[in-house]
Protein backbone atom coordinates (compact mmCIF):
# COMPACT_ATOMS: atom_id res chain seq x y z
CA UNK A 1 0.00 0.00 0.00
CA UNK A 2 1.38 3.38 -0.96
CA UNK A 3 1.89 6.09 1.68
CA UNK A 4 -0.80 8.18 -0.03
CA UNK A 5 -3.34 5.40 0.45
CA UNK A 6 -2.32 4.92 4.07
CA UNK A 7 -2.93 8.63 4.77
CA UNK A 8 -6.34 8.41 3.09
CA UNK A 9 -7.28 5.42 5.27
CA UNK A 10 -6.11 7.18 8.43
CA UNK A 11 -8.02 10.35 7.51
CA UNK A 12 -11.14 8.28 6.81
CA UNK A 13 -10.84 6.46 10.12
CA UNK A 14 -10.38 9.78 11.94
CA UNK A 15 -13.52 11.20 10.33
CA UNK A 16 -15.48 8.06 11.28
CA UNK A 17 -14.21 8.23 14.89
CA UNK A 18 -15.20 11.92 15.24
CA UNK A 19 -18.63 11.23 13.71
CA UNK A 20 -19.18 8.28 16.05
CA UNK A 21 -18.15 10.28 19.12
CA UNK A 22 -20.42 13.17 18.08
CA UNK A 23 -23.33 10.79 17.58
CA UNK A 24 -22.84 9.25 21.01
CA UNK A 25 -22.58 12.69 22.65
CA UNK A 26 -25.74 13.96 20.95
CA UNK A 27 -27.71 10.85 21.88
CA UNK A 28 -26.61 11.23 25.51
CA UNK A 29 -27.58 14.91 25.57
CA UNK A 30 -30.96 14.26 24.01
CA UNK A 31 -32.33 12.86 27.26
CA UNK A 32 -30.64 15.46 29.47
CA UNK A 33 -31.25 18.65 27.51
CA UNK A 34 -33.94 20.93 28.88
CA UNK A 35 -35.37 23.35 26.38
CA UNK A 36 -36.33 26.89 27.34
CA UNK A 37 -39.84 28.19 26.73
CA UNK A 38 -41.56 31.47 27.43
CA UNK A 39 -45.34 31.48 27.95
CA UNK A 40 -45.77 33.04 24.50
CA UNK A 41 -43.75 30.21 22.92
CA UNK A 42 -46.05 27.65 24.52
CA UNK A 43 -49.07 29.52 23.20
CA UNK A 44 -47.66 29.42 19.65
CA UNK A 45 -46.08 25.95 19.60
CA UNK A 46 -48.28 23.97 21.97
CA UNK A 47 -47.45 22.12 25.16
CA UNK A 48 -44.26 20.06 25.24
CA UNK A 49 -45.75 17.28 27.37
CA UNK A 50 -43.66 14.55 28.95
CA UNK A 51 -40.34 16.40 28.77
CA UNK A 52 -38.33 18.33 31.31
CA UNK A 53 -38.24 21.95 30.16
CA UNK A 54 -37.47 25.39 31.51
CA UNK A 55 -40.13 28.07 31.66
CA UNK A 56 -38.91 31.64 31.90
CA UNK A 57 -40.47 35.05 32.31
CA UNK A 58 -41.58 37.50 34.97
CA UNK A 59 -43.55 36.60 38.07
CA UNK A 60 -46.84 38.40 37.60
CA UNK A 61 -47.53 40.97 40.31
CA UNK A 62 -50.05 39.83 42.95
CA UNK A 63 -50.01 36.23 41.75
CA UNK A 64 -47.93 34.52 44.46
CA UNK A 65 -50.11 32.37 46.71
CA UNK A 66 -48.73 30.12 49.42
CA UNK A 67 -50.62 27.00 50.44
CA UNK A 68 -51.46 26.11 54.03
CA UNK A 69 -48.62 23.57 54.17
CA UNK A 70 -46.11 26.43 53.91
CA UNK A 71 -43.95 24.89 51.18
CA UNK A 72 -46.30 24.84 48.20
CA UNK A 73 -46.74 28.03 46.24
CA UNK A 74 -48.61 28.99 43.13
CA UNK A 75 -47.79 31.93 40.91
CA UNK A 76 -48.16 33.07 37.32
CA UNK A 77 -45.28 33.54 34.89
CA UNK A 78 -45.80 36.02 32.08
CA UNK A 79 -43.80 37.32 29.14
CA UNK A 80 -46.25 40.07 28.26
CA UNK A 81 -48.01 38.05 25.56
CA UNK A 82 -49.22 35.02 27.53
CA UNK A 83 -49.32 33.66 31.06
CA UNK A 84 -48.71 30.23 32.58
CA UNK A 85 -49.77 29.16 36.08
CA UNK A 86 -46.94 27.47 37.99
CA UNK A 87 -46.99 25.25 41.07
CA UNK A 88 -43.80 24.80 43.07
CA UNK A 89 -43.23 22.79 46.21
CA UNK A 90 -40.07 23.71 48.09
CA UNK A 91 -38.07 26.66 49.31
CA UNK A 92 -37.98 29.57 46.90
CA UNK A 93 -34.72 31.46 46.31
CA UNK A 94 -34.17 34.74 48.18
CA UNK A 95 -34.43 36.81 44.99
CA UNK A 96 -37.80 35.28 44.07
CA UNK A 97 -40.46 37.98 44.19
CA UNK A 98 -43.24 39.54 42.17
CA UNK A 99 -42.32 41.41 38.98
CA UNK A 100 -38.86 39.83 38.88
CA UNK A 101 -37.40 37.31 36.47
CA UNK A 102 -37.68 33.60 37.11
CA UNK A 103 -36.70 30.38 35.38
CA UNK A 104 -38.67 27.33 36.51
CA UNK A 105 -37.52 23.80 35.70
CA UNK A 106 -40.19 21.13 35.49
CA UNK A 107 -42.93 19.79 33.25
CA UNK A 108 -46.12 21.06 31.68
CA UNK A 109 -49.36 19.38 32.64
CA UNK A 110 -52.15 18.52 30.16
CA UNK A 111 -54.27 21.40 31.56
CA UNK A 112 -51.60 23.93 30.54
CA UNK A 113 -50.20 24.52 34.01
CA UNK A 114 -46.55 23.97 34.90
CA UNK A 115 -45.23 21.97 37.85
CA UNK A 116 -41.77 23.22 38.79
CA UNK A 117 -39.17 21.12 40.56
CA UNK A 118 -36.59 23.90 40.77
CA UNK A 119 -36.74 27.70 40.70
CA UNK A 120 -33.98 30.01 39.57
CA UNK A 121 -34.58 33.66 40.41
CA UNK A 122 -33.04 36.24 38.14
CA UNK A 123 -31.97 39.72 39.17
CA UNK A 124 -31.75 42.75 36.93
CA UNK A 125 -28.55 43.92 35.32
CA UNK A 126 -28.24 46.79 37.81
CA UNK A 127 -27.78 44.42 40.73
CA UNK A 128 -24.64 44.75 42.83
CA UNK A 129 -23.89 42.94 46.05
CA UNK A 130 -24.26 45.35 48.98
CA UNK A 131 -20.61 44.91 49.92
CA UNK A 132 -19.43 45.92 46.45
CA UNK A 133 -21.87 48.81 46.19
CA UNK A 134 -20.54 50.18 49.50
CA UNK A 135 -16.92 49.91 48.40
CA UNK A 136 -17.58 51.78 45.18
CA UNK A 137 -18.76 54.76 47.18
CA UNK A 138 -15.57 54.65 49.26
CA UNK A 139 -13.30 54.89 46.22
CA UNK A 140 -11.02 57.89 46.57
CA UNK A 141 -9.60 57.67 43.04
CA UNK A 142 -12.63 59.47 41.63
CA UNK A 143 -11.97 62.54 43.81
CA UNK A 144 -9.58 65.20 42.57
The reply to whether 37 sits in an annotated binding site is no
Q: What are phi and psi of 120, to 5 degrees?
A: -120, 115
Give me the mean pLDDT over the 40-57 stretch. 86
Per-residue pLDDT tens over the stretch 74-118: 999 998 899 999 999 999 888 888 988 899 999 999 998 999 999
Instruction: Count CA within 13 A, CB hemisphere, residue 6.
Output: 3
Give me the mean pLDDT over the 35-49 stretch. 85
Of the candidates 95, 104, 54, the one whose C-alpha atom is nearest the C-alpha of residue 76 is 104
Task: Say what the pLDDT of residue 143 is.
Answer: 53
Q: Which band of pLDDT confidence, cut at 50, 70 and 90, is reported for residue 137?
A: low
The reply to whether 127 sits in an annotated binding site is yes
Determine the CATH number of domain 34-121. Answer: 2.40.50.140
Model confidence, pTM: 0.66
3-state helix/strand/coil string of 16-77: HHHHHHHHHHHHHHHHHCCEEECHHHHHHHCCCECCCEEEEEEECCCCCEECCCCCEEEEEE
Of the candidates 48, 106, 49, 50, the one whose C-alpha atom is nearest the C-alpha of residue 77 is 106
CA 140 → CA 127, 131, 134, 143, distances in Å?
22, 16, 13, 5
Amino acid sequence: MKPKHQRMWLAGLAVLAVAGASGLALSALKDQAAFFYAPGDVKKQGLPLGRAVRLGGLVQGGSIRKAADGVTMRFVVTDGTATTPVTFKGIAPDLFRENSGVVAEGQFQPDGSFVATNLLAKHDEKYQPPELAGKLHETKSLKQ
